[in-house]
Homo-oligomer: A and B are copies of this chain.
Amino acid sequence: MAIKNNSRAVHLCFVWLLVSTVSLQTSDGHRWKKYPLRKPTRNLVLYFHDVIYDGTNAKNATSTLVGAPHGANLTLLTGKDNHFGDLAVFDDPITLDNNFHSPPVGRAQGFYLYDMKNTFSSWLGFTFVLNSTDYKGTITFAGADPILTKYRDISVVGGTGDFLMARGIATISTDAYEGDVYFRLRVNISLYEWY
């Protein structure tokens, strides 16, 4: 490949250098300095639906308690301390819209635990296993979920298949809920990196 226009190539290189510096700053004594935020390069909105086992809904439940603190049981979320210590495993359907009965495009699988005594707050580790005509692959998430906050960000820590090497954040909001049994979460996934 011959280079026809050297100055144009140099120009491109120079622009490239400027762009690169955003993510390649070395320690300069100005910790916490803000750099311009890159635009997410991929955006995806999905819903998932969690139906917690409560002793009566074994057939329909998509999640169940598997751990709880001393004195609590595994049938119902603990009544005291805002469910502190409750640990649930889930396999929830993922849909493109907020309708529980829409055809699922995948499953949200993993666990959550309640980790605060004085408010409702949880920690999530789970994976979106997507299998539709549009995308096949997985996205794995981890992070703190302060449930009562309208929008809360958790981290996208990895991906496979169509989402190979995905990184970014997922903004979660509680789209609907019914008592302690049904939760519908809206997840706005912003990927800043992927292959």
Contact = CB atoms under 8 A, between A and B. Distances in A.
A8 to B, nearest CB: 9
A1 B7 CA distance: 12
A87 B74 CA distance: 14
Interface residues of A, number: 94
A55 interface: yes
A85 to B, nearest CB: 5
20 contacts: A3-B11, A6-B10, A9-B17, A26-B39, A26-B41, A27-B39, A32-B162, A35-B195, A38-B195, A66-B87, A87-B111, A89-B113, A125-B125, A127-B143, A142-B157, A155-B158, A155-B159, A157-B157, A158-B169, A165-B169
